[in-house]
Structure formats: C-alpha cells, structure tokens
C-alpha cells in the first residue's frame, strides 16, 4: 500500500508539473497572439494613409520653400521688374540704360569668374602632376577606341587616290624591244622599194 501511495503521489506531482508547464505555454501563446493582434489590417492601412499624407505635406512644404528661395535669388540678382506700361520716353530710356549698365556689370563679373576658374583648373592640374611625380605614378592618358579595320580601309583608300596607273607606267621606246630579225627585214623592204624606184 505504501508503494501505491508513493506511486500516486509521484504521479500527482508529475501531473501538477505538466499542468504548470501547459499553463505557462498557453500564457506565452496568448501573449504572442495579443502582440500580433495589435497591428490589424485596418490599423496598418490607416497608418500607411497617415504616412502618405505626412510625406505629401513635407514635399509640398519643401517645394514652397525652394520656390520662395528661387524668387528671392532672382529678385536679388535681377532686381524688381520695372513698370514700363505707364512710363514715358525719358523714363524708358533711363530704364533701358539701367538694364544695359547691369548687363555690362554682369558680363564683367562673368569674365572675371571664368578667368579665375580656368586659373584654378590649371593650378589643380599642375599640383596633380607634381603629386604624381613625387609618388612616381604617371597617369596614362585615356585612349580613344578606334576600329582597326576602319583605319586599314582609310589607308587603302588614300593609297588608291595617290596611285594613278598611267603615271606609274614607264615610257618605253619601240626600238628597245624590237628583234634584230625584224630590223633586218625592215631594212630589206626599204632597199627593195628603193631599188624598184618607189619613193
């Protein structure tokens, strides 16, 4: 009987532990389900909509800020537009002279700035070459891709243009290539004609 009671007590202890483990597992799964259930599809949709709205507002504000900055810079560089509708001839001349002076001044500044940029570029190139000389590195120039066949065809066409067949032929004297026998026959024929009396 003591063995039966010990077995029952042991079984009861095992059952109690199993129940505790099962209870803990159920609680953990409920907690996971609760976390998953927080972002329902409706909430996700609403959140996306709010994010899109916020992004559109930020974009609109950025565009307005850029447009205002652009207007400010244009006004600063070009000045405010003049009213020429109600202006008489003298005021129009004055306005056109102001614009002309402004253009001359801007062209002068542009020329100065271009000169400064060119000088700086030359200085940068010079410094780069000095650095490369000190390091012992030499920059290979980038080569243009050229078709080798195109080059050959161009050379051939150039040679064909230069080569004139008639100019390349030698001038040949007829007597160089005549045979001695033909010469003798020609002389006999001349004598025969002379002997007959033909002139």
Residue 154 lies in a domain: no
Give pLDDT tens digits for 108-131. 999 999 999 999 999 999 998 888
Residue 90 lies in a domain: yes
Give pLDDT tens digits for 23-50. 888 888 777 666 555 677 888 889 999 9
| pLDDT score for 29 | 78
Residue 162 lies in a domain: no
d(CA 123, CA 126): 5
**Choice among 7-11, 73-77, 83-87, 191-195 with the minimum mean pLDDT:** 191-195
Residue 8 lies in a domain: no
Does 64 have pLDDT greater than 90? yes
Q: Look over the chain and give the mean of its residue pLDDT values, rounded to a whole number.
A: 79
Residue 106 lies in a domain: yes
pTM for this structure? 0.33
Please, are residues 139 and 132 in contact by the beta-carbon 8 Å criterion?
yes
Residue 18 lies in a domain: no
Residue 94 belongs to domain spanning: 83-138
Structurally, the chain folds into a number of domains equal to 1
d(CA 117, CA 127): 15
Give pLDDT tens digits for 137-177. 666 777 777 766 666 777 777 777 666 656 666 666 555 55
Residue 161 lies in a domain: no
Residue 76 lies in a domain: no
């Amino acid at each position: 009987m003591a063995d039966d009671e010990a077995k029952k007590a042991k079984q009861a202890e095992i059952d109690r532990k199993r129940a505790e483990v099962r209870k803990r597992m159920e609680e953990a799964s409920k907690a996971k389900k609760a976390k998953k259930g927080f972002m329902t599809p409706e909430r996700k949709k609403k959140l996306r909509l709010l994010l899109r709205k916020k992004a559109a507002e930020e974009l609109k504000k950025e565009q307005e800020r850029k447009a205002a900055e652009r207007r400010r810079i244009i006004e600063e560089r070009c000045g405010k537009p003049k009213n020429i509708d109600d202006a008489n001839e003298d005021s129009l001349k004055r306005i056109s002279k102001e614009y002309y002076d402004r253009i001359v001044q801007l062209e002068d500044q542009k020329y100065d700035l271009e000169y400064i940029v060119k000088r700086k570029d030359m200085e940068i190139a010079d410094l780069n070459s000095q650095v490369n000389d000190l390091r012992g590195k030499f920059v290979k120039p980038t080569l243009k891709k050229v078709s080798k066949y195109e080059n050959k065809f161009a050379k051939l066409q150039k040679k064909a243009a230069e080569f004139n067949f008639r100019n390349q032929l030698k001038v040949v004297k007829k007597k160089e290539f005549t045979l001695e026998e033909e010469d003798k026959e020609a002389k006999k024929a001349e004598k025969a004609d002379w002997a007959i009396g033909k002139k």
